Amino acid sequence: MDKYRTIKLLFEKNRNEENAIKMSKYMRDMFKFYGLSTPVRKSFYKDLLKKEKESKIIDWDFLDKCYEDDYREFQYLVMDYLVTMQNYLNYDDVPKIYKYIKSKQWWDTIDGLDRIVGNIAFKDNRINDLMLEWSKNEDFWVRRIAIDHQLCRKEKTNTELLEQIIVNNLGSEEFFINKAIGWSLRDYSKTNPKWVRNFVNKYKDKMNKLSIKEASKYI
């Protein structure tokens, strides 16, 4: 039996309808759920991910099947898989990941894929130019990826790039963009509060109040 079918049977066998209703409602009834908690879900493919990591080969056919599945847990599986295989991702894999970014879009998957793409920059700085390009994309979810792709980098944050990307998105009325701007600045403020303080002072007249509020939380 193939990997996808094996996991699907486990998901179906252990579905929790009560949780599924709650999880779907939390996501505005946009997706179907099996109702599996994160620890339970991950336990079903823990060994699979271990074997995949040992193989050092990303099974994109398997991931495509998972991402096409109607149940949201399968999209979460894809993100867990890619995090596990982060060291084996390269710039040429970005179009494959972009396909996931453009499909079944909502904040949960977008926020799971942002750093997966962003971390490729540590081995190929072409990602920097691509993120700058994405920061002007007509799809605000793609722009959100660009804004937040450096989250948790701390002192490794490319501040020049961060500033350019955020500036490209100032003036937006989209909640998910303004929230992302605030989060990216708030996260970096833990490392360099002075830089973030100066950024907010410099652009406060152009920044959304939500972005300023989030960015200023720790400064």
CB 27 within 8 A of CB 72: yes
Tell the residue number behind the tokens 């072409």, with chain if given.
126
Q: Which residues face 71 on adjacent strands?
A: 32
Model pTM score: 0.96
Tally of CA atoms within 13 A in the half-sphere of 135 that contains its CB: 25
Tell the residue number behind the tokens 């946009």, with chain if given.
30
- The predicted pLDDT at position 143 comes to 98
By residue count, the chain amounts to 219
Helix 159-167 / helix 175-189 crossing angle, nearest 10 deg: 160
pLDDT mean for each 10 residues of the chain (219 residues):
95 98 98 98 98 98 98 98 98 98 98 98 98 98 98 98 98 98 98 98 98 96
Tally of CA atoms within 13 A in the half-sphere of 212 that contains its CB: 12
- The predicted pLDDT at position 5 comes to 98
CB 93 within 8 A of CB 116: no
Q: In angstroms, rounded to a whole number, what is the distance separating the alpha carbons of residues 179 and 112?
A: 16
Show the domains of the chain with their CATH numbers.
128-219 (1.25.40.290)
- The predicted pLDDT at position 164 comes to 98
With H, G, I as helix, E, B as strand and everything else as coil, classify residue 71.
strand
- The predicted pLDDT at position 62 comes to 98
